[in-house]
């Protein structure tokens, strides 16, 4: 009997629609984030993460309506990231029904935002997302702006710093692996997970179920996040959990 490792499907949303849609059969609207979140809940997802990649600021409030609708129907934790710049943004998302808010570029630009938000709403609500690229063997640098801008920050040191600032969790994405389907960057995941006391969510590169299991066993991640393998119906969340349980990993089934 132990804490379950979590499986977290991630939805990229822009202007209220899920990017790329999904291949769920019998889904009335493949681009509707609420309907997709419900489907994941039914499959046994432990949480759902929305990443709002809406470019134009006048469409930013759309995500709030999505969160409101989702929170009325899906009773598992919801995390929302994207476009969070000030504490008021955190509050708006939480008030709409998000349980955790994730910040990335804004945390690097303004570390006080993490501290201030954590002090106001509690560290259990604050996730810092870190986009990492390998720069030398066993060394990774933090990138921002969707991986376009390097920061000069060492990933492990930054992870420790955000913990001190008040992050309750780290969402760690390997930019090298993201979209490759070659599996997580396991040395990166392990280095960060062992460097901090807060939970680490591994992200970037999942192509099959073995990759999810590896993230937990070799990467020592507390949770694993994936998008495309679930969206396109290759695997259900339930299949992923059954696979992990067969390999001795505690999951909620």
Return the number of the residue (198 or 209) whose C-beta is nearest other proteins. 198
**Is 61 considered catalytic here?**
no
| Catalytic residue flag (residue 12) | yes
Name the residue nearer to other proteins (CB basis): 20 or 238: 238
Instruction: State how far the Cα of 213 lies from the Cα of 240, in Å rounded to an integer.
Output: 9
Q: Which residues bind other proteins (CB under 8 A)?
A: 1-6, 41, 46, 71-72, 75-77, 94-97, 99, 121-125, 168-169, 197-199, 220, 222-223, 252
Q: Give the nearest distance from C-beta 208 to other proteins in angstroms.
A: 23
Burial 29-64 (b: 16+ CB within 10 A, else e): ebebbbbbbbbbbebbbbbbbbbbebeeeeebebbb
**Cβ 10 to other proteins shortest distance, Å:** 17
Q: How many CB atoms lie within 10 A of CB 135?
A: 12
CB of 199 to other proteins, least distance (A): 5
How does DSSP classify residue 176? T
- By beta-carbon proximity to other proteins, the closer residue of 41 and 178 is 41
Q: Which residue has the tokens 């390097």?
A: 150
Question: CA distances (Å), 51 to each of 43, 54, 82, 102, 220, in order?
Answer: 20, 9, 6, 9, 24
CA distance 192 to 4: 20
| Catalytic position from the list 12, 109, 154, 176 | 12
User: Would you state the structure tokens that stand for residue 52, as one six-digit string?
Assistant: 């709002």
The nearest distance, CB 55 to other proteins, in angstroms, is 27
Closest to other proteins by CB, 126 vs 175, is: 126
Separation of alpha carbons 138 and 249, rounded Å? 26
For residue 14, give the 3-state DSSP assignment.
strand
Smallest gap, in angstroms, from Cβ of residue 93 to other proteins? 9
Q: What is the C-alpha end-to-end distance of the chain, expressed in Å?
A: 13
CB 161 within 8 A of CB 202: no
Which one from 32, 46, 131, 222 is the annotated catalytic residue?
131
Whichever of 18 and 96 has its CB closer to other proteins, that residue is: 96
The set of catalytic residues is 12, 131
């Amino acid at each position: 009997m132990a804490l379950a490792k979590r499986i977290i499907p991630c939805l990229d949303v822009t202007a209220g629609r899920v990017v790329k849609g999904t291949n769920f059969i019998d889904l009335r609207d493949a681009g509707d984030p609420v309907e997709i979140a419900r489907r994941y809940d039914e499959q046994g997802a432990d949480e759902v993460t929305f990443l709002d990649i809406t470019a134009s600021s006048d469409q930013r409030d759309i995500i709030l309506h999505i969160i409101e609708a989702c929170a009325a129907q899906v009773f598992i934790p919801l995390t929302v990231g994207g476009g969070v710049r000030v504490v008021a943004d955190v509050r708006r998302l939480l008030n709409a029904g998000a349980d955790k808010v994730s910040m990335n570029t804004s945390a690097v630009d303004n570390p006080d935002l993490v501290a201030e938000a954590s002090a106001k709403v509690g560290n259990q609500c604050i996730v810092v997302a870190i986009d990492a690229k390998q720069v030398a063997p066993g060394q990774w640098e933090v990138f921002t702006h969707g991986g376009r801008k390097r920061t000069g920050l060492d990933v492990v040191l930054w992870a420790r710093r955000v913990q001190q600032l008040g992050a309750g969790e780290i969402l760690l994405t390997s930019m090298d692996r993201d979209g490759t389907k070659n599996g997580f960057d396991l040395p990166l995941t392990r280095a960060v997970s062992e460097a901090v006391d807060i939970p680490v969510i591994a992200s970037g590169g999942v192509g099959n179920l073995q990759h999810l299991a590896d993230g937990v066993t070799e990467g020592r991640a507390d949770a694993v996040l994936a998008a495309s393998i679930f969206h396109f119906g290759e695997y259900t969340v339930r299949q992923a959990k059954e696979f992990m349980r067969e390999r001795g990993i505690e999951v909620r089934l």
